[in-house]
Structure formats: C-alpha cells, structure tokens
Structure 1
Amino acid sequence: MFPAPIEKAPASAQIAYKVALPVALFIWLLPLLAIFVTSIRPAADINAGNVFGWPSNFQLIENYATVFRTSDAATYLWNSLRITVPTVIISISLACLAGYALAIYRGFRWALPLFFLFVAGNFVPFQILMIPVRDLSVRADLYDTITGLVLFHAAFQTGFCTLFMRNFIKALPYELIESARIEGVGEFKIFWYLVLPLVRPAIAALSVLIFTFVWNDFFWATVLIQSDELLPITVGVRSLNGQFVNQWQLVSAASLLAALPPIFMFFAMQKHFIAGLTLGATKG
C-alpha cells in the first residue's frame, strides 16, 4: 500500500534518487530564485531587456527600501495581519467546539447530516459566491471593512476546519471521555482540559494551513475591499506599478516580503505541524 523506503531499493535506484532529488528541488525553486534575482536587479536592466541574465549590479537594499518608501507596504502588511490572525482564531475556535460536538455526542442524531453539510460546503466553488457575498456585505454595512473580510474568511474556513478537527477528535479513545464523565467532570472541562491538549498538534497544523490560506488571499480582498488604506499586502503590491511603467523589481521585492510571514509561521510551528499531520497515522 505504501512505497518501499529508498534504503531498501537497489544501489542504482538510490544513486538515481540522490541525483534526481537536488535537480528536482532546483527546478521547483527556480521561479522563486528568478523572483529574488529580479527583486535585486536595477530597473535599467529590465528596461534594456536583461530580464533573465546576470544583473549589471545588485540593489538589494535600495529596492527593498524603495518598496517601503514609495508605497504603503508597512500598512498593507499590518492589514494582512489584522485580517489573518483574527480569522485563524475565530475559525479554529469554532471548529474545535463544533468538531467536539460532532465527534463526541453520539446520541445526537443530526451529527452526521451536519457533518456532511460541513463537508459539502468545501466543494462549493467560492467564485460563484462573489455577488451574493458582496451584496450581503453591503446590506450589513460590512463592505470595505476589515471586519467584513474577517467574518467572511472565518465563515468560509470554519467548514474545512470543522472537518479537520472532527476527524482528529473522533480518533481519540472514547473511553477517556466516558471516564471523565463518570468522575463527574463537566463537558466544558472535558473539552478544555482533556480534549484540547490531546489535539494540540492538530490545532497547530491547522493554524499554519489557515494562516497561509487567508494571508495569500487575493480574490476576496479585491472583491470586498475598495479603500487603498485597507488593502492587504497581496493586493497592495499592485500600487508599486506606475501608470505607464511597470516596476517589476519593486513588485518582486514586495511579493517576497509578502511571502515571509507564512514561511516564518511554518518554521516556528514546524515541529507541531508535522506531528499534527501524522497524528493518528499509526495505532498503539
């Protein structure tokens, strides 16, 4: 069912694997390397057609400093944090509560239909919701606000988060819950002191995923935000292009800056992220 470890493969296969892996990694990282080289390239190179060649000189500090000097990149980054962090907190909090109810309350006959409803919501193409969501945000006076974007992201991500958390909580030994109930422990204390510590790796893995999803959002930020001072960094990088001249070196620099927070988030929680992905993969 699972592929055999490379250590058990023939010597020729191991050599081919060791040669192919760095090549595949370089090809995979090649677009990112190209963006980085563009971000430190002077504008004269791009205007002269030297897009893929070696830069005539390196302007690492100049280009990245220009991003903050000529645009509101700091404001855009702050807006992205204001959108992403509350969304992660709200989505995961609701998902843990809903996942606990759907996984533990076996006598609740609507648990399975509700779970299927959460699953079905993940298959709805979000593009078809553009007009209804925009009209709803206008009627609720939430259009062009950070709050409206946070509430929408939280509502949209909670379905996936509930699916994720319900499966992890259901994998826990049900005898632990029954033992706590026999001892007279309340449901909230069981949830807070027993269940949450056991699924902490899953919460960490889910936090990294949702943080990345919401931080990299471009579509809904374009649909629901109109004011320049409220734009997240994924949309705000467009302001670095002039009316007649595209400053690709600045756009590339801003794009790399926008990619740094999810990368830092992953490495900060890498241990818990990997543990969360492998939680329940083995028995015993």
Structure 2
Amino acid sequence: MTAASDALTTSAIVTGQDKREAAGRHGPRPARLWTYIFLIVMALIWLLPLAWSLFTSLRPYADTAKYGYFSFGGTFNVQNYIDAWNQGGFSTYFMNSVIYVVPTVILTLFLASMMAYAVSRYSWTFSLTLLIMFTAGNLLPPQVLATPLFEAFRLLKLPYWMSDSGTLLNTYISVIAVNTAFQIGFCTFVLANFMKALPTELSEAAKVDGAGVWRHYWSIVLPLSRPALAALATLEVIFIYNDFFWPLLFIQSGNRLPVTTAINNLKGEWLTNYNLLAAGAMITVIPTLVIYLLLQRHFIAGLTLGASKG
C-alpha cells in the first residue's frame, strides 16, 4: 500500500507539473492577458501627454507655426530649454522649492512617525480617537481653510528680523507649516498601519532589556519602518514640490515663489509660446523623476510589503 501511495503521489506531481508546463507553453490565461492589455493601454494614456510635451519642447516655435503642432516637420534642438531657464529664472525658483520641500518632508515624517508609534505600539484610551482625528483631517478640502489661515497669518505679528512683512505672510515658515499640517494626517495613517504589523516580541524584548520609550522608538521601530518612510518620502516630495495653491496664497514676493510658479514668467503679454511652456514644464518634472529613480527600490518595497500575507 505504501508503494502504491508513493506511486500515485509521484504521478500526481508529474501530472501537475506537465499541466503547468503546458499552460506556460500556451501563453497566459485569457484573464491575465486582458489585464496586461489594460495596463499597457493605461500606461500609454498616461505617457502620451508627457511624450508630446517633450516632443513639442524640442521644436522651435517657427516650425510649429509653419507646419502645425500635430506635425513632424522642421528641426529639433534644446534652445527652448535654454530660453526657458533664463527667462523663467528657474535657478532661484528651484532653490525656493528646496527650502519648502526638505524641511516639510523631514518635519512631516518625524512628527507622523512619533504619532504613529504612540497609537500603534501602545494601547491607551484615546489612541484610536486620535488616529481617526488625524485621518479625518485629510477629508477637509484645503480651500475651505484658505481664508481663515490667510487672516490668521496676516494678524499674527512677527519681529522684522524674522519677517520683512511684520506678519507670518510672505515667509517660508507659513508654507512649511501649512504643508506639514495637511500632510501629517496621511503619513500618520500609513505609518500606524505599518507599525502595527511589526512583531510585538521586539517591543517586549526591548522592555526586558531596559529600553525606554525613546530608545524603543528610535533604535527599533524607526529602522524597521524604513520601507514605509522611503515610500512616504517619495510621495511627499512629489506632493509638496508640485503644490501651487499655498505658496501662491501666502507668498507675496516673487523671489520666494516655488518652481511651479516659474512657468507664469514664460507667458507673453500678447502671444504665448507653447513650445517654451512645454520646455519649462519638462524642466520642472526633472527633480521629481530623479527623486523617484533614487528611491524607486524603497518605494516599491514600501508599497508591496505585506501584499503576499494572508
């Protein structure tokens, strides 16, 4: 009986392998094939505007005026990029964006990680309530708070060595503070769910070894949360870098505006050179692409972590 059972088991394994090999030879299943087709079509739809902007930015305005935008005649060069960089003042605006993005991302992830640690690794009365409050803040449209925040910043007096306007308006601090406040809820929600999945045995072992709350957070939980932090850092850089609303509302001086507003300098009074605008748009896209490529491995790991768990 044992030999017969072993023979049947071996036969079943071989049959299963043959079926899988046959399925592989015949290509993917119809459902998976349609999934591939759908993803390819969606990718092309998303990439088409970017590709067309790149194509337009490499053509002189005279050629598009002669042949039309939906044509392939004429020459191709990078003169539009040179003109856009000089005319738009991108060097100054890029530095302003760095001043806005770097402190905001660091503050947001630091504060959100501490809040997520408190509500996920400890059980206390208001842990779930606070998490819901932080998450609910993302449901409020930013435009609703535009007028109250503007009036509050206008009435908040500051010494002139901190602000040349005497208020919180027209300062880097105003944009950094508002972006941090609006982004911290989303980051807290993501990090709290991530930290809840960490093994509780680590916390118990840390307590046995005499580690305090700060030591446990900084030396154990935070390093283990690196994939989630990297994924959030990538998203936050893109969100804050592309933000146009808050800087335009709070900043009144042109030399403190971010790079997203530099494209306005490329518009003519009577005529708009769309080739120049396309070049300016492509210039603004480059930093986000670089950030994504640098953090791509951590970003994908943070998004897919736990996807295979039952």
Q: Tell me if TM exceeds 0.5.
A: yes
Other-structure match for 2:160: none
Q: Does the CA-based 8 Å contact 2:137-2:185 persist in structure 1?
A: yes
Deviation at 1:9, TM superposition (A): 7.1
Q: Distance in 2 between matches of 1:100 and 1:11?
A: 44
Correspondences of 1:96-111 after superposition (within 5 Å): 96-106=113-123, 108-111=124-127
Counterpart residue number, 2:20: none
**Which ranges in structure 2 are unaligned for 5 or more consecutive residues?**
1-22, 157-166
Write out aligned runs for 1:77-226 (5 A): 77-106=94-123, 108-140=124-156, 141-226=167-252
- 2:256 matches 1:230: yes
For this pair of structures, how many residues does the alignment match?
Answer: 277
1:202-261 CA-partner distances (Å, limit 9, x unpaired)? 000000011110011112222122211111111111111111111211111111111111
Match among 74, 78, 85 for residue 56 of structure 1:
74
Amino acid at match of 1:154: T
TM alignment of 1:34-49, pairs within 5 A: 34-48=52-66
- Cα distance in 2, alignment partners of residues 268 and 158 from structure 1: 23
Distance 2:211 2:34 in 1: 58
TM-score (norm 2): 0.83
Unaligned 5+ segments in structure 1 are 1-5
1-structure distance, mates of 2:88, 2:228: 38
CA contact (8 A) 1:42 1:55 kept: no
Q: Which residue of 1 aligns with 2:12?
A: none
Query: What amino acid does structure 2 have at the position aligned with 1:118?
Result: F
- The CA distance in 2 between the partners of 1:17 and 1:279, in whole Å, is 22
Q: Check conservation: 1:41, 1:55, Cα contact below 8 A.
A: no
Q: SS of the residue aligned with 1:122? A: helix
In 1, Cα distance between equivalents of 2:239 and 2:76 = 33
1:69 counterpart = 2:95: no
Q: CA separation in 2, counterparts of 1:45 and 1:138? A: 49
Offset, 1:268: 0.5
* Deviation for aligned residue 1:76: 0.9
When normalised by structure 1's length, the TM-score is 0.90
Specify the alignment match of 2:13 in structure 1: none
Residue among 236, 240, 246 paired with 2:272: 246
Q: CA, structure 1 residues 241+186, in 2 after alignment: closer, same or farther (shift >3 Å)?
A: same
- Look up the SS of the partner of 2:139 in the other structure: coil
Tell me the percent identity: 39
**Matches of 2:71 and 2:119 in 1, distance apart?**
57
RMSD: 2.2
Larger Rg belongs to: 2
| Aligned residue type for 1:37 | F
